[in-house]
Every structure is written in structure tokens, then in C-alpha cells.
């Protein structure tokens, strides 16, 4: 018996080619994505990597996305390679124009570096969201459409806007703490299948009964 879609398939539902399990189309070693996380884009869901920009191996930053995330079309993860030197009089990148200007090439130490960009598990990101370098989005968070995420978003919080700000918590602290301890996304496929009703409910009693 099958207990859900194959996490190693590109399209979990062959009838819906706009939804792609991202981990199965990743080619860059500096991107890591967990099982069942999908990108939804009718214009080519399998082209997710095109939405991770300014991502260069020599800089060393990684994009790390957890399991069971839902990412809508228009996402852009801007990585550290987009940064310009800010400690000098001008931010203009003379060096990339060549023709002698390469003498002004900055060292990596002179460029802002925000570290890895990390998206937790069970995160929902709406359409046309931009995530800036080094941001951490916690487990269970929701990011509203058209947001620009410039700061960390705590687990199980809803955030939106430009710049993105916290709107509210999804649940009370008791349920948030319980879910972070339970980590349902690490359960085997059979256990998830058997408990879909509880997972799709906000009833703490039901959820506690299965853990």
C-alpha cells in the first residue's frame, strides 16, 4: 500500500505539472531541500534554481530548505553574491565591467556577508516573495504574498509586507512549543498517512493523542 506520493519523484501528481518536488531537480551543491517541499509555477516548476540568484560557490553561502514546505510562484532567494562593497565612498561595482576597472575588485572580507539562508519545515511562502541573504524562517511560518523578507521570522508566525514584519502568531505558545517538539515532518510516511486528520486540524487534543 502506498502512503502518499513518492518523495523522489519530480512531479508528485503527474496530472499537475505545475507542482514539483524541489529536491529532485536541484543541481547546485550549495542548495539543500528536504522531502516533499514543492514549488508551484505553471511556467516551469522544475526551474526552481533560476529563482535562487547571485549564488556563487566561492562565496560559500548555502540555501537550506526543510521538509513539507509550500513555495508559490515568483519566489526569489537573493543570496550573498548580490552584495556590493559598502565601506567605500561608492557602492558601484567597477570591477565587473572589466577594461582596467578590475583593479578595484573587492576582497570577500570587504563585502557584506549575512551567512546561510535557512527555511524551516512546513513553511508556506506566498506568491512573489523575495527572501534576502542570511534570513532564517522558522518551522511552520507563513509569509504573505509580495513580501520582502529582510529579517528572521520565528516559528509558527505569520509575516508580511515590505519590509516583512510579524503580523501574529498562528497558535498559542503551548501549541507552538508542542509542535516544535513533536516535529511531525520527521515521522515516517505511514505515521503521517495514518494521522492526516489530526495534522489537518488545530485541535491540540487530537494532536497530543497521536504523539
Q: Active-site residues: which are they? A: 84
CA distance 67 to 58: 27
- Helix ranges (H only) for 54-210 are 173-182, 189-194, 196-199, 204-210
C-alpha cell of 34? Answer: 528536504
8 A C-beta contact, residue 23 and residue 34: yes
Pairing of strands 76-78, 130-131: parallel
Query: What is the CA angle 60-66-70, rounded to 5?
Result: 120
Omega of the bond prior to 163 within 30 degrees of 0, cis? yes
Name residue, grid cell 493523542: 209
C-alpha cell of 19? Answer: 507542482
C-alpha cell of 180? Answer: 516544535
Strand partners, 71: 39, 125
DSSP letter (8 states) at residue 106: P
Amino acid at each position: 500500500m502506498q502512503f502518499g506520493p513518492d518523495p523522489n519523484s519530480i512531479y508528485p501528481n503527474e496530472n499537475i505539472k505545475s507542482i514539483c518536488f524541489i529536491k529532485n531537480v536541484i543541481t547546485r551543491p550549495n542548495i539543500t531541500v528536504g522531502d516533499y517541499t514543492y514549488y508551484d509555477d505553471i511556467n516551469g516548476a522544475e526551474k526552481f534554481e533560476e529563482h535562487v540568484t547571485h549564488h556563487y560557490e566561492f562565496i560559500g553561502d548555502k540555501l537550506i530548505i526543510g521538509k513539507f514546505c509550500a513555495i508559490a510562484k515568483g519566489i526569489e532567494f537573493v543570496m550573498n553574491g548580490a552584495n556590493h562593497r559598502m565601506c567605500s565612498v561608492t557602492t558601484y561595482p567597477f570591477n565587473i565591467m572589466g577594461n582596467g576597472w578590475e583593479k578595484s575588485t573587492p576582497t570577500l572580507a570587504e563585502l557584506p556577508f549575512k551567512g546561510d539562508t535557512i527555511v524551516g519545515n512546513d513553511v508556506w511562502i506566498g506568491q512573489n516573495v523575495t527572501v534576502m541573504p542570511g534570513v532564517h524562517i522558522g518551522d511552520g511560518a507563513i509569509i504573505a504574498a509580495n513580501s520582502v523578507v529582510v529579517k528572521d521570522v520565528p516559528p509558527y508566525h505569520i509575516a508580511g509586507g515590505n519590509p516583512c514584519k510579524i503580523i501574529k502568531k498562528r497558535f498559542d505558545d503551548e501549541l507552538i512549543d508542542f509542535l516544535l517538539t513533536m516535529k511531525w515532518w520527521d515521522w515516517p510516511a505511514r505515521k503521517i498517512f495514518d494521522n492526516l486528520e489530526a495534522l489537518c486540524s488545530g485541535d491540540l487534543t487530537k494532536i497530543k493523542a497521536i504523539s
